[in-house]
Structure 1
Amino acid sequence: MDDRFDGFIAGLGAASGLRAVVGHWPRSPLGAFTDVMVEQPGGHRLLLAPSDAVAEFVSATYTFDEVRVGPVTARTDGVRWVVDAAPLALEFTTGRRSGLGLLLRAVPRRLAVAPAWISVVDVVARRVLPGVRTRGSAGGGREEFYAALDLHRITSAAVDWDGADQGPLAPVDPPVRFGFGSTPRSPALTRVTTIVRSSGAGSAGRRRAS
């Protein structure tokens, strides 16, 4: 059974060493939602989730030291994004489509979201984008596939954690350690379809219906 999450992933770092990965999912088996994964400078990994259902599914897919449930929202005008996920307050601006983004958009969508194609892309990604994977284990015997459809650079950001400014935009370095791969080192917003394949017991759709 496949669960498909269609939306955006933003990965960025701050000069303090804090790194954040924002998932904004207008379409998913859990409905529309935004969640945020944060790795603090010391390595502590947190999930900020908007509901118990999202927290349960995401924490079964990735690895965290702490999970917090509370309001998580994202607003965008297409270029500027504002994310509220206390204690994180994040604003960032995207720039032009990257060269990789142009290549991703050239792939027909039906092919781009096919797990067989994603597996081929994974071989290339391992060689040219350190830390980035498009296929791997999602825990609980499940597999996860990332179909990247577009990519824009993040050009500026303001990051506050618990009211403290975390400094200017910085690379995602070291790579985040939530799952089998990281986001690109250079801060970026990726248009993505994520496929989580399971035998059925851990399906988000089944959990929502139960």
Structure 2
Amino acid sequence: MGFLSRGMFVVAGVIVGSTCINYLVAGETVSLHWPNGRLGSWREAKVRPACYAALNFPKRDRDNPTLPYGQHRIAWRDFDRMVDMTAALHCYVVTQQNAVCEPDNRAYVVDYIGKYFAKRDAMLEIAKRYGGGEEKIVRDLWDAANNRAIMSALEMHIKYGRLRKSDFGWSAPELLKGALDKYSDAPDQCDKSRPWVAVKIPVERS
């Protein structure tokens, strides 16, 4: 093995090792997108703590997904995760609308968007095992008011160049690929002269 090959092997080992540590210890996945000058450090994202209050009691918000009456096969763990992810992403891209203009926030939000759609896809795959009725229930759950607001916000961010195909690398969610391709040349319309200021979210009490 040549010197260059050994060096690349060591670098790959460091990347994989740090990824595993962050996943197993910190509970976070790490974005493996190639740097493009638009993404900062997800660890430094300020939008995440700015949205902690949105996750206090997300089930109280009736615009988040709510379990339907009657029989279904949706696991409580999946449902809880769906509600949490909806509340979080809604805060990141709707409530904190301009947060994605900050590189660190953009890195975190892009990664979270991937998790959000991966969870949706996983739940739909499970539902397909039980037939069309179950699949419709899950699709309807992911089409609550806040989920629709998320989709509208993402389409707006893509249209105005705040989110681009290059930000997602090889992992662009299937539902966003059409918009990302359509607006691939859209100029970034973030106003650099007006830095993002977090919207304060009222803290609900138990």
**TM-score tier (shorter):** under 0.3
TM-score (norm 1): 0.24
The structure that has the greater radius of gyration is 2
TM-score (norm 2): 0.24
Structure with more of its chain in strand, by fraction: 1
